[in-house]
Chain A
Amino acid sequence: MGEILDFIIAKSNYWSYVVLMMIGLYAMISRQNYVRKIIGMSIFQTAVILFYVSTAVKEKAVIPIIAHGHGEEANAAIEASQYINPLPHVLMLTAIVVGVATLGVALSLAIRVYQKYGTLEENEINDMIREQ
């Protein structure tokens, strides 16, 4: 029991992202309403973003902005372990903005579906398509 608890605590960050990701996935699978599916997709995306950002963390390191990185002192040697990994931050920085833009596309598709069928419930729309 103690070992399992240690394992959970050591990887607790990944566990929380997996739980968040599964909440998003469940919302996408089980909900009939398209807006709820889109919200589930957003939660899923947030879990991925948090996962990436957490891989950047280093113990006893600061944000990746070089201290005294200007002027005379700029040529001092830089130890990579003093600063957290900038790469996941760069990837997620663009991913967040692109995520917002693609969320806009998803919502506009939902609006078009609502304009055509008058509902956002998937089963009702499926029935309408079958009747045609």
Chain B
Amino acid sequence: MKKLGLLTVVVCGVLLLLKTAEFADWGDPNSPASRHLSPYFLENSIKDSAVPNVVTAVLADYRGFDTMFETTVILAAGLACFFILRVRKTEKPKSTYYRHVPTATTLRIIEGAVLPEQSKVFKRIDSVWVPFDLILATTCKAIIPFIQIFALYVIAHGHHSPGGGFQGGVVLGASIILMAISRNLGAAIAHLKEKTTVLMAMIGVFIYAGTGAFAALAGKNFLDYSTLATVLGVDEIMARSHGILIVETGVAIAVMAVMVWIYYNLSSAGKQDEGL
């Protein structure tokens, strides 16, 4: 099997390598990919939507349908992970672990037993990962807010610099995942519940599709943001620019929520009590 696989791979590779002779050279300005649509996008992006970052303009305006359904695909992937993995009723674990924070002692509470006092000094920890790294937890606690601020900047500044909904959403999701990794899954779920992530994923897609549907209801084409001009009180070109920001926000919310949701399900194999 391995020899047959190697043969297949080598034959495929040689065929592809021979075919590269017909491809455009590196950095050729007249390559077929750069001749047809992209000059139009580059020359008209400012005129049409006042967005200097052409990638954002193409992403959310010229190719709005594509991006909307990509967001739907991400939502579908999150739903797929949920339905494949999520366990509805988890049996209670035999024993749970707590840390007494002032003395850094680990307590194992067996089934039926209760803690002497339910206060803030006892923190639930994972049975699979008992050690506690103070430096790691404190560092992550300190940098997570800055990561989130930076993510919001990436989302909001997508019109003028590299960035936008997808990138900002992933950074935002990564900050929550970092919290889950640096402490434990329960800490992240306490901040952002699974229900909230599901709701946010739906809301994100709804914002995008709803903006399109609003344009359609107002009598123009689906996803034609110039219909927002009367609502926002700006001219049609600026309305497209603002419309792009609205849908990018929707994309960011959906992407962030789905990334966190998938991580919750994957890291705990659907049980969502304790994970990595």
List the A side residues contacting B39 at CB < 8 Å. Answer: 80
Of A21, A59, A64, A109, the most chain B CB neighbours within 10 A belong to A64
**Contact A26 to B6, CB < 8 A, known contacts A19-B13, A98-B73:** yes
CB distance from B73 to the nearest CB of A (A): 5
Contact call A69/B81, Cβ cutoff below 8 A: no
CB distance from A90 to the nearest CB of B (A): 5
Give which listed residue, A61, A67, A90, contacts B58 with CB less than 8 A: A90
List the A side residues contacting B54 at CB < 8 Å. Answer: 64-66, 83, 86
List the B side residues contacting A15 at CB < 8 Å. Answer: 17, 20
Contact call A55/B58, Cβ cutoff below 8 A: no
Give which listed residue, A11, A75, A85, A107, contacts B23 with CB less than 8 A: A11
Contact call B55/A90, Cβ cutoff below 8 A: yes
List the B side residues contacting A29 at CB < 8 Å. Answer: 1, 5, 8-9
Interface residues of A in 33-79 (CB under 8 A from B): 54-59, 61, 63-67, 69-70, 74-75, 78
Contact call A87/B6, Cβ cutoff below 8 A: no
Contact call B266/A104, Cβ cutoff below 8 A: yes
- Which of B28-36, B148-156, B223-231 forms part of the interface with chain A? B28-36
List the B side residues contacting A102 at CB < 8 Å. Answer: 73, 77
B138 within 8 A of A: no
Interface residue count for B (Cβ, 8 Å)?
68
Of A56, A65, A104, the most chain B CB neighbours within 10 A belong to A104
Contact mask for chain B residues 26-56; partner A; CB cutoff 8 A; 1 contact, 0 none? 1111010110011101110110001111110
CB distance from A47 to the nearest CB of B (A): 10
CB distance from A22 to the nearest CB of B (A): 4
* Residues on B facing A (Cβ under 8 Å): 1-2, 5-6, 8-10, 12-13, 16-17, 20-21, 23-29, 31, 33-34, 37-39, 41-43, 45-46, 50-55, 58-59, 63, 66-67, 70, 73-74, 77-78, 80-81, 84-85, 160-162, 164, 166-167, 169-170, 255, 258-259, 262-263, 265-266, 269-270
What are 24 A-B interface contacts by the 8 Å CB criterion? A18-B17, A21-B13, A25-B12, A30-B5, A56-B33, A58-B29, A64-B54, A65-B55, A65-B160, A66-B45, A69-B52, A85-B34, A86-B38, A87-B37, A93-B164, A94-B59, A94-B66, A100-B259, A104-B81, A104-B263, A104-B266, A105-B80, A108-B81, A108-B265
